[in-house]
Amino acid sequence: MKIVILDGYCLNHGDLSWEQFNNLGEVTIYERTPYEKIVERMGDATIMITNKCNIDRDVINRLPQLKYVGVLATGYNNVDIAYAHERGVVVTNIPAYSTESVVQTVFGLITELYSGIGYHNESVKRGDWVNCTDFCYYRTGMHELCGKTIGIVGAGRIGLRVKEVAKAYGLEVLMFSKSRHAKEEGFRYVNTLTELYENSDIVSLNCPLTDGNAKMINEEALSHFKRSAIIINTARGGLVDDEALAKALNEDRILGAGLDVLSTEPPREDNPLLKAKNVVITPHVAWATIEARSRLMDVAYNNLKAFLSGKPINCV
């Protein structure tokens, strides 16, 4: 059984081990594979493991021996699922491995925008405190979380966990979801996104990207935000119209943004958000703690092991 890992570097920078996969077959690992090399590197292997390689109809057609694609992520939009099914190729993903890590990043971005810890750290290291007349200084407005309202878009595992942590901070919670509208204590679902935007101090995007919600944060949506609001996106960059958000930030129509994802990754040099006011951007790392990546590795192994035993799990 030949197993080819096409782009292992994103998951494993050398601090994890692929060794357990050797129990399942002959393993070849590539750190990165450009699209034009996929077929060549797969050869006659029946098992493909990939994170972000584009496995489209053409690739699948050129790999008649392919039986299994293990996606090293929750999202699987890089694989032509319908055609894979048509060809009898099993595709699996990794659900729910990074919930705690993503939620941690949500509140890391919120607290940076509200408290300016990183901002003030850099200021101190530039010598501003050494040269300060007073015992302290504050160069950016700071705010308490307690008593503010967070609007959470999406009521999946991550959205619901954000809700729980928000309550611990003393935040009031609003949630919007097309699939869940149960009445539960301590927070409430709103009927429209407009209602959520108009009543939230913090808007956190924790929903999948679909054809129906692409660029949901656009000029019209931002017109309903409070001027004092911040937006957090740890979900998918395609949920946000980059130009509209940058314009709102630069015109002080919202207070700030914390983004772990952008519409194109890596971003183009001319992405307006890279130079916008009051924005904190991290390079799509909310999922990437050692604990989350270890869980991902273990689930990927168990997915393949289950497939080889004839009882596939986490199929998409």
Active site residues: 236, 265, 284
Alpha carbons 66 and 59: distance in angstroms, whole number: 10
Query: 3-state SS of the chain: helix, strand, coil percent to 5?
Result: 35, 15, 50
Looking at residue 79, what DSSP letter applies?
A: B
**Sign of the torsion angle spanned by Cα atoms 226, 227, 230, 231:** positive
Residue for token pair 């935000």: 225
Query: Which burial class, exposed, middle or buried, applies to 121 when counting CB atoms under 10 A from its CB (0-12, 13-18, 19+)?
Result: exposed
Residue 63 tokens, joined: 């790999």
- Nearest of 262, 237, 303 to residue 97 by alpha carbon: 303
* Cβ neighbour number for residue 196 with a 10 Å cutoff: 22
Q: Report angle CA 18, 313, 16 to the nearest 5 degrees.
A: 15
